[in-house]
Structures are given as structure tokens and as C-alpha cells.
Structure 1
Amino acid sequence: MNAEDAVAQAVHAQELEGWRPDGDARAALTAFATGALGRGGYIAAAVAAARALDPSEQRPRLLRRYRPYYVRGTTVLRNGIGLANPVALAEAEHRVCAARLVEIHLRTVAPDVPLVTSIHQHLFGDVYPWAGQQRIVDLRKGDARFLPVPRLATRMAALEDAVAAVCHTDFIAATAAVVADLVAVHPFREGNGRTATTLLTVLARRAGLPFDLRCVDRTAWMGASRAAMAAADGNHRVPAEPFVPVVERVAGVWQSETS
């Protein structure tokens, strides 16, 4: 993959999670991908650009209880890049994560095993001190409740085993199953969606398949996630079927139409 394609793939992964990069963000990412800008310089520029977007700090407010992932007294996620404004932090997170994705696409780095944990650590390690660590709080999004913390370790071990077993044979079904399970488990405090899309592309490449994340838009990705979670059983097991067309499109293998 060349630098232009790597940037396009990385940007689209962030767009699936709501990022709307401007021309300067794309130009900086291209400079990083081509080697014109080093990682340290890129990250410093990304943080500066994010801070300029909204330089104010979130005004501290009293909280009734300690919330482990937040800067004390605020609703800003604890981070290692010195940002105390949620708008600025979100922008910096997208920019930095995009650069880390470019590295994966250009094969300048390769996620290690266990793969899911390694991907999250690589994508978010520059921003969050807890990157790659399983969450310690229960999470929900709307009506969807993700796997409770006491069951995370066992379920994640099984998920990593399933990821390791994915191969070219029956790739669509196996990959749809692990992506759906990752969405249901939601093992990290932040960044689960980008971890899932990165896992999908890494598995496709490992299986020797072409892949293009741009074949899936935000509507399709979020729709698959919602459909899977809506069908979750009492053990937080979800069906793989909503993600089958997503995997097919990304990997360019249209099994469901020919079966």
C-alpha cells in the first residue's frame, strides 16, 4: 500500500467514528505518511492544532464520586497529552490515531499478539495511559449494555483465541463473528470501534485478501453494531450476521450473493 492509500484508509476509519478532518489535518497526515514529518513532530502539531480548535478548558465541577477515567473534577478523559477540553481532546485523538493507523497500513509497525489488545495499545498509547488495558467500569450506550467487568478477562481470552484462529478458509463468517463479539464485549474505555475496524483490515491482510474500508460507510457500520447489540442474549452473545455484509465489502468477497 502506498502513502496516499494508507492516508485514505486511516482517515475513513476515523470518519466512521465521526471525525470530519479539514485540509490541514489531511496534509499533516500525508506529510507523516511520506516521511516528511516525523512521529514526534506530527503528534506535537496534532495537539497544537486541536488546542487551537478550542483552547478553553472544561470548567471543573464537583462530582459526587470518583470516576477513574476522568481528570478529577471534570468530565474530560484522563490523557497523556495535556488537554483539558473535550473538543480538543477528541480532535487530537483522531489525528494521532490516524497516524498510528497509517503505520499499520504501511507496515512500518505490525500489531503483536494478543492482537486485539496490541491494536488498541498501538492506536491510543500516545493519548491515553490506559491504552491496551481492559476497562474497569461497566459501560452502556443508549439501551445497549456491554459485557460486565467481572466477565471481561475470560471473554477477552476467548476472543483473542478466536482471532488467532481466523484464516482464509471461512474468512467471512469467522471474521464477522470476532468483530461482532468485540463490539459486544467493548473491552476498552474508549476506542473500541476503531479497534474493531483495524482488526478487520489486519485480518484481511493476514488472510491474503484485498481490503478497502471505504467500501463501508458510517451508516452501514453503525447499523451493523446496533443490530448485533439489539439481538444480544442474556450472556451478551450477539449474532455475527449483521457484520457479514460489512466484512464482505471490506474484503471484497461477496459470499452471501453467490451462496
Structure 2
Amino acid sequence: MNIEGYDAFDDPYCYPGTTVLKNLLNIQDQDTLDAFEIEISTLRAEEPLPEGIFDTVHYRAVHHHLFQDVYDWAGQYRTVRTSKGGNFFCYQEYIPAQMDALFQGLRGGEAFVELTSSAFLQEIARFLGELNAIHPFREGNGRSQMAFIGLIGANVNHPFAFERLDRTTFLPAMIASYFGNREPLIVELGNLLI
């Protein structure tokens, strides 16, 4: 399974004849763009993240905050179909409705209040797995997901230590959640709880 790159179809986000995403600095080399994107989104993540009521507007504001220096579409839902490793994410025409339904279940973050650590891990893994399957943005979904669940965790006294995240085990856990097995993701998230 190819987990490195995205497959997109009729992709207006890319420079013609390439798979390099159009960006604000007009970087057309993938390695250079990747390095810049990681550096600037990491710096933005160290700043205070946007406040909100844990709804789709708040989530889009977090994505915009992290990627505002890289993409002019930061914070906007994607308009193309994408897949990774041959596995399709939510078709773009269904993203708004799917996001609204998922975030309505958060009840402004109240869904996580007063949960035990174990119950919190069950619920946050469910939310994260579903959010990942929707994959609402053309790029930057993973970093936005981590930043957002970090806000949720801090808000309900279940903070995460993302510096302990091990991509070699976390990414396969995310893939397993895509296929309905959340147990590895629960374990990974549990390893990050403070």
C-alpha cells in the first residue's frame, strides 16, 4: 500500500504536468515544498491555535492557521477526489454534510467532558478515524487532526504529548482505523496521553 503520496483526479491544485501543489511561494520542487510546509506549519503550531466551539468552522480555522503561509486554499474543503494507496477518501461533494454530521456529535466539545481516560480514548479515536476518512482538505489533514484533538484533549483535561508520537506505528494505526479497526489507534493515542 502506498502511504506516502496522494492520488488525485483532474487535480487543479497542482502545477500542470506535475504532482506539486500550487503554493504561495511558487515552489515547484516537491522536496523543497515539503520541507517548507513542514517547517512553517510546525512554527504555526507553536503559536496559540484559533479558539472556537469545536465545530467545523473552528476546525477549518485551525487548518487555515497552520497552512496560511503555504496555500491560498488553507481552511477550505477540497474540490477534487483523492485517495491514498488506492483507498478513496470522502468524495468532495459529500464533505460538507459529512463534516457537519461528525462535528454535530461533538456538541461543542461537550461529548468529551468528564470522560475517564479510557472512555476518552475510545471516543477520540472514533472521532479521529472518521475525520481522517473524510479527509476534507487537499493537504495538511494529519497535522490539522493532531492540532485539533490536542485542543480537545487540553480542553477536557486529557492532554496529549505529541512529541512522543512515533510515525512508524501511528500511521499504520490510522490506516487500520480507516478499515474499521480502531484498537491500534486507541493504543497509540493512549501512549500520548499525559
TM-score (ref. length: structure 2): 0.82
Deviation by residue 1:72-91 (Cα, 9 ceiling, x = unmatched): 34332111123121111111
Match of 1:198 among 147, 162, 165: 147
Deviation by residue 1:13-52 (Cα, 9 ceiling, x = unmatched): xxxx99xxxxxxxxxxxxxxxxxxxxxxxxxxxxxxxxxx
Question: More displaced, 127-136 or 220-229?
Answer: 220-229
- Does 2:185 align with 1:243? yes
The CA deviation at 1:138 is 0.8
Deviation by residue 1:147-203 (Cα, 9 ceiling, x = unmatched): 112211110111222343332423222211111111111111001111111122111
Q: Secondary structure at the match of 1:140?
A: strand
Matched letter for residue 142 of structure 1: G
Aligned to 2:173: 224
- Whether the 8 Å CA contact 1:134–1:152 is kept in 2: the answer is yes
CA–CA distance in 2 between the matches of 1:127 and 1:210? 28
Match of 2:113 among 144, 152, 167: 167
- Whether the 8 Å CA contact 1:97–1:123 is kept in 2: the answer is yes
Listed as ranges, the gaps of 5+ residues in structure 2 are none
> CA distance change for structure 1 residues 115 and 246 in 2, over 3 Å: closer, same or farther?
farther
- Does 2:69 align with 1:126? yes
Listed as ranges, the gaps of 5+ residues in structure 1 are 1-16, 19-64, 232-237, 253-259
CA–CA distance in 1 between the matches of 2:182 and 2:60? 21
Match of 1:84 among 25, 28, 53: 28
- Whether the 8 Å CA contact 1:139–1:145 is kept in 2: the answer is yes
CA RMSD of aligned residues (A): 2.2
Aligned to 1:209: 158
Q: Secondary structure at the match of 1:188?
A: coil
CA–CA distance in 2 between the matches of 1:67 and 1:210? 37
CA–CA distance in 2 between the matches of 1:242 and 1:152? 26
Aligned to 1:255: none
TM-score (ref. length: structure 1): 0.63
Larger Rg computed on CA atoms:
1
> CA distance change for structure 1 residues 215 and 74 in 2, over 3 Å: closer, same or farther?
closer
Aligned to 1:139: 82
Q: How many residues align?
A: 179
Overall identity of the aligned pairs, in %: 30
- Whether the 8 Å CA contact 1:115–1:160 is kept in 2: the answer is no
